[in-house]
Structure 1
Amino acid sequence: MSIGQSNGSGVPGQGSPARAPANVRIVDPVPFAPSPRERLRSFMRVHGRKLWWLHSAYALGLGIAVVAFAQKGFDHARWLAVSIGAAWLLVVLFFRLFGSGREQAQLHAAPAKARLRFFAMTYALKNLYQGMLFFLLPFYWKSTTFWAPNSWFVVLLGTCALLSTLDIVFDRVVFRFRALASIFHGVALFGCLNLVVPALFPDTRTLYSLLIAMGITVVGFWTIHVSVAMLRDRRWIALFFLSAAAALGGAYAGRTAIPPVPMYVSKGAVGPIVLPDGRLGMVVHELHPSVIDKLIAITDVVVPGGKGDRLVHVWRHDGDEVHRATETTSKVDGPEGTVRLRSALSGRQLPARLIGTWAIDVETQDSQLVGRVSFLVAD
């Protein structure tokens, strides 16, 4: 039998190429093609962090849009109450479901549904905080007197607003630890309530708004940390009341460090002459002591939350109080929606030494600084 010929049994001879059966077609190998889900997972592994930062930039843009919206008026502030309630409920539920610290560290090995719930809740919380904090910024910015003791709070709110847009920082740092999240929530809650109280209850005294906001913030802080079982222990209840009393006392003592939102000074100036229509005939920023015979200060205070406070003019020379003019003696007619205060220094009220930095502070009856007008007397 020659090579290449079949033997009698039909088996190809040795050395002959293998032939496929008549009903089988041999094709070239096809490369492995991943499924759409596998391609998505691969893309997220490579670019996931970039997408988070891109979303953070998008969130910051939305925050800026909220700031622009807040400029339209104080009437929208009452809707913050809805956001406050939703955020409060979600943050309590969040730590009940996912725990804190090491408990959250195990989420990477949790089922997909658990991870989805985690990201859905943090996404909702971030959006709520972004809306609240960015809405607050314009109001606190106007009420803040920079380089004064109350200027730190708007910086704190701005920092919290920025953190709420950083997805990775918010998820993996701020809301990973219950203590840190409760502080963040407390700042947002306190800042919002300071604005919500006068929005819902016009003509509320600023100090009362401050104390109400602090009291509710303490309750909010405790709800994040305390379980129902702990409330059965009287020691925890006593500790709650002690902490509330301490917080209220601290808020009262530190009231000068909090801007009196929503009030702010829209205009303020100092000059020697008043026109018949109530405006200053001349505005001075720097003058020589030899020309000073009488100084008049006029300030317009916007009170969108109603007139709940009595306001005063406090004249200061190099930081020392020289004269205090109450609202009873200094209030005059002004533009609608504002309180115009006008006070003057002349004659014996002027100190012997005039050179230095002068300031007219607009304060509430509780010494909260609403705004300041400054000028310089120099040789």
Structure 2
Amino acid sequence: MPNLPPLILRVIELIKRYPGVIALGGFISGVGSFILVDRQQGMASWIAVIMLVSWLWLMLENSFTQLFTKLFNREIPEPLLRYATQMIHQESLFFVLPFFFVTTAWNSGQSVFTGLLGAAALVSIIDPLYYKWLAPKRSLFLALHTLTLFAALLTALPIILHLTTAESYKLALGVAMALSIPSLAVSLPLRSVKGWAMLLGVTAAIGCAGWLLRSWVPPATLWMTEVAISTQLQDRTPGDDLKQVSAAQLRSGGLYAYTAINAPRGLDERIYHVWKFNGQEVDRIALDIHGGRKEGYRAWTHKQNFPPDSVGRWQVRVLTEDGQVIGVLRFNVTDSAQTDNPK
């Protein structure tokens, strides 16, 4: 790499020798941001802004490199650009992982999405996989690129702009669809109208799939800090968390589904408690929550109308306005007057 200052050469060598340092830095910044969001401190917004600025540079890389060449009459070496791209992938993936790890409902399809993020993060720090397996496959490389940006936007937008989870998802999905076009253009022939129609059709299919599978994507900045199914609620505090309830208890006073949900300061969000009986929805109740409380915004629903035969498996699914799963409360109803209620 001729005509490079010794300092830049030294930086490149250090990155090559210690590729995990960038990932570790991203993970630490992600954990730090998660803690700051949990404590409702504004510094998390600045960390998220810095991460998105790096993506702005990445998306405008060609323009910036041309401007650099014009101003300084020197080209930025290709290896340095590759390392910069890898660094942004590493930093972004390890930044978002703490958020998605905590907010994932692991017994649902959300585990697939978070698992993909984890696999992408591992690939980004293993040079043989990243450079020899992933990078030469342009469509696969841009797929990782798009997935990483999608996850980064889902995490950063509610923190920075106080967008609701539904608004953030729509915007992030739109950007992901736009970025999928270059990767698809590599694989599809665009020399005819049919090729362009295929490109638009596949892009639309990706958008539809992303929308239909939105329940598989965890709401990165919403998580439950306390939950309970209880027959009692006093001073905004639930009674014992019940796993089994008798039909007689349901008829006598109904049940409370209590959730305390952590959200970034300034975020107002509508959520739903969806009551399900043996897999079938029987009630959907809207609740408005407000971010900013360290212990989470406390909200509950009190269901008193149950089917005549209510014995069986029950769930209360806590959903965002667009159907993303925040968490699930489960309990069983028995026909016995005496129930064993483990906490």
- What TM-score does the superposition give when structure 1 sets the normalisation length? 0.67
Q: Cα distance 1:224–1:351, how it changes in 2: closer, same or farther (>3 A)? A: closer
Structure 1 or 2, whichever has the larger Rg, is 1
Work out whether 1:257 is the aligned partner of 2:248: no
Q: Distance in 2 between matches of 1:305 and 1:332?
A: 8
Q: Secondary structure at the match of 1:260?
A: coil
1:360 aligned to 2:316? yes
Offset, 1:273: 1.1
1:239 Cα shift? 5.3
The answer for the alignment partner of 1:157 in structure 2 is: 117
Judged with a 3 Å threshold, the aligned counterparts in structure 2 of structure 1 residues 341 and 57 are, in CA distance, closer, same or farther, namely same
State which of 259, 277, 282 in structure 1 corresponds to 2:240: 282
Structure 2 Cα separation of the partners of residues 66 and 126 of structure 1: 17
Shift of 1:339: 3.7
Determine the structure 2 residue equivalent to 1:314. 274
Instruction: Give the 5 Å matches for 1:231-242.
Output: 241-242=200-201
SS at match of 2:240: coil
Please state how far the C-alpha of 1:289 moved relative to its aligned partner.
Answer: 4.2
Tell me if structure 2 keeps the 8 A contact 1:317–1:358.
yes
The answer to whether the Cα contact below 8 Å between 2:265 and 2:291 also exists between their aligned partners in 1 is no
Q: Which residue of 1 aligns with 2:9?
A: none
The answer (yes or no) to whether the contact 1:215–1:244 under 8 Å persists in 2 is: no
Deviation at 1:249, TM superposition (A): 2.9
CA contact (8 A) 1:256 1:368 kept: yes
Q: Do the aligned residues in 1 keep the contact of 2:123 with 2:129 (CA within 8 Å)? A: yes
Identity of aligned residues (%): 24
| Alignment match of 2:51 (pick from 61, 80, 86) | 80
TM-score by length of 2: 0.73
Mapped contact 1:263–1:305 kept (Cα < 8 A)? no
Residue aligning to 1:350: 306
Q: Deviations over 1:315-374 (max 9, x none)?
A: 12232223222227xx7999468443211223xx22334443322111123222222222
AA in 2 matched with 1:374:
R
* Contact 1:332–1:341, Cα closer than 8 Å, also in 2: no
Alpha-carbon offset, residue 166 of structure 1: 0.6
Cα offset, 1:82, TM superposition: 1.1
Which is strand-richer, 1 or 2?
2
Q: Is the 8 A contact 1:318 1:356 kept in 2?
A: yes
Matched, 1:216 2:172: no
CA offsets 1:52-95 (integer angstroms, 9 cap, x no match): 7x84555554454344323233423232211222333459999x
- Is 1:372 the counterpart of 2:331? The answer is no
CA distance in 1, matches of 2:93, 2:290: 36
Q: Deviations over 1:142-187 (max 9, x none)?
A: 3322212333211111111111111111111111221111111111
The answer to whether the 8 Å contact 2:314/2:331 transfers is yes
Please tell me whether residue 304 in structure 1 is matched to residue 304 in structure 2. Answer: no
What is the identity, as a one-letter code, of the residue corresponding to 1:65?
Answer: I
Q: Helix, strand or coil: the match of 1:176?
A: coil
Partner residue of 1:137 out of 97, 122, 125? 97
Which residue pairs with 2:7 in the alignment? none
* Residue 322 to residue 91, structure 1, CA distance change in 2 (3 Å): farther
- What SS does the aligned partner of 1:371 have? strand
Worse-matched range after superposition: 136-145 or 235-244: 235-244
- Higher RCO structure, 1 or 2 (CA under 8 Å, sep 6+): 2
Q: Unmatched 5+ residue regions in structure 1?
A: 1-50, 95-113
Q: Deviations over 1:1-45 (max 9, x none)?
A: xxxxxxxxxxxxxxxxxxxxxxxxxxxxxxxxxxxxxxxxxxxxx
| Residue in 2 that maps onto 1:65 | 28
Runs of at least 5 residues in structure 2 that lack an aligned partner in the other structure: 1-14, 38-43, 66-74, 337-343
8 A contact 2:310–2:333 mirrored in 1: yes
Amino acid in the other structure paired with 2:221:
P
**Match for 1:173: what amino acid?**
W
Structure-2 separation of matches of 1:270 and 1:369: 18
Count of residue correspondences: 300
Within a 5 Å distance, the mapping from 1:27-176 to structure 2 comes to: 55=18, 58=21, 61-71=24-34, 72-73=36-37, 74-75=44-45, 76-90=47-61, 117-176=77-136
What is the alpha-carbon distance in structure 2 between the residues aligned to residue 240 and residue 337 of structure 1? Answer: 47
Q: Is the 8 A contact 2:268 2:291 kept in 1?
A: no
- 1:92–1:224 Cα contact (<8 Å) kept: no
